[in-house]
Structure 1
Amino acid sequence: MGNIQIGTCYRLTGLPGAGKTTLASACRRRLKSEGRDACVLVADVLREGINRHATDRGQCPGDRGYPESSA
């Protein structure tokens, strides 16, 4: 059996441009340098992929009960 790791998830919140992705990427690099698995999920990128997939299926963001933008 290989090296078993306990999973942990951290959610960084803050204003746009505050450095959340920069901080998360630095944490990921540090964890990787220590031999741990790590990944960064960026909400804007995930949202773009979800919306593109829904649009490909003929849906729009309003079809899922979510507002089209938070602005």
Structure 2
Amino acid sequence: MSFKYFLEVAPEDKIVHPTSLTKFRKLRLKDASLLDVLIKKTVEIALKEGLIKSGQIIMDSTHTNSIFNS
């Protein structure tokens, strides 16, 4: 919900399907540094708007296996 608030999206509105974001990233963002710029700008805006209270950002990049992996 905090992301919807940040993006000014109504709670009942649907958001972009995750596969669309994956396709965008793989097909349109060929330059990896551009993705870094986008993430940096997003964090800057979130800090400015007071949505991030900490000076640290922790990302969970834990790899998990699924029973559906072959």
**TM, length-normalised to structure 2:** 0.37
**TM, length-normalised to structure 1:** 0.36
Larger radius of gyration: 1
Could you say which structure has the greater relative contact order, defined with CA pairs below 8 angstroms and 6 or more residues apart? 2
